[in-house]
Amino acid sequence: MNEFDARAILFSAIEGGHSFWSREIFSQGALLTLEKLRDGRYDTVKFSKLIAVVATSSVDQVLSTIEKTGAQLLTPGHPLWPSSVEDLVAPPIALIVKGNAASLSIASLAIVGTRNPTNYGARIASDFAAGFVDREWAIVSGGAYGIDSWAHKGALIAEGTTIAVIASGVDINYPAGNARLFAEICEIGAVVTEVMPGNPALPARFLTRNRLIAALSQATLVVEAAFRSGSLRTARDAAELLRPVMAIPGPINSPTSEGCHRLIGERAAEIVTSVADAVEFVGANR
């Protein structure tokens, strides 16, 4: 048993974004954390379910389950591990990556927004994705319908790299209508998750997924978002990491732009009205 093996077992047993276990693993190492769990040195009542799972888990079984999907498990220390995720309060224990894991090392822009965009929002997401791809940046988004899909498609049409960070196992196409899009993304870019294969996309997993989108990117752009939106969570996660946040303004009476106007009004995001604005703000030409 080594550090990688221990991380694999803990990754398979612990829900992503768990601040306590992230702190334990990153402060003392996965091997010691696993040993303490198996030896009963953590609260055996509070963590009874986790202790039962790790007691019977096999690293070979975990890795085999991942490899059957055509993906790989990345952990800290791997040459392709994106160290930027370690800036998070609760860094991922590991990441499952399907496609080109080297794409995680490319400078990238997160483009996020509503699942029900206007034609204006769809066009803006696609145009900004293409504009940054032309400058050899990758585009990161969440693989959902709406702005996410238009951002991924904009990058692919421009023959660039895009990364989808999803809230389910890599073997589950969620949403199902984006199955072909996920396959195209994997040809050059990657699909990333901190959820084991076979696990569905639960509501809480979208929130923990959003922090990964922010952490994998050098900057975040919100195109269209409602007043209360998961995209605003991604923007605030990026701000907490001291990464640039930008928002696209829309019509003052458009519900799909209320979130962007809120970010701009609170000075939580820089207003941008063109690709050139965004490039200058994040220094993409440097």
Asked if 143 contacts 182 with a C-beta cutoff of 8 angstroms, the reply is yes
Q: pTM of the predicted model, to two decimals?
A: 0.95
37 residue type, one letter: L
Report the run of H or E that residue 95 belongs to, with start and end.
strand 95-99
132 DSSP 8-state letter:
H
Please tell me whether residue 96 adopts helix, strand or coil conformation: strand
Per-residue pLDDT tens, the chain, 286 aa: give them: 899 999 999 999 999 999 999 999 999 999 999 999 999 999 999 999 999 999 999 999 999 999 999 999 999 999 999 999 999 999 999 999 999 999 999 999 999 999 999 999 999 999 999 999 999 999 999 999 999 999 999 999 999 999 999 999 999 999 999 999 999 999 999 999 999 999 999 999 999 999 999 999 999 999 999 988 889 999 999 999 999 999 999 999 999 999 999 999 999 999 999 999 999 999 865 4
- Tell me what pLDDT residue 285 has: 55
Cα distances (angstroms) measured from residue 167 to each of 47, 141, 175, 204, 256 = 24, 12, 10, 9, 23
* Structural domains of the chain, with CATH: 3-99 (no CATH), 101-282 (3.40.50.450)
- Tell me what pLDDT residue 51 has: 93
How many angstroms separate the CA atoms of 43 and 48, rounded? 8
Where would I find the H helices in the chain? 3-13, 19-28, 30-38, 48-56, 59-67, 119-133, 147-157, 179-188, 203-216, 230-240, 258-265, 275-282
- The residue behind tokens 């440097």 is 286
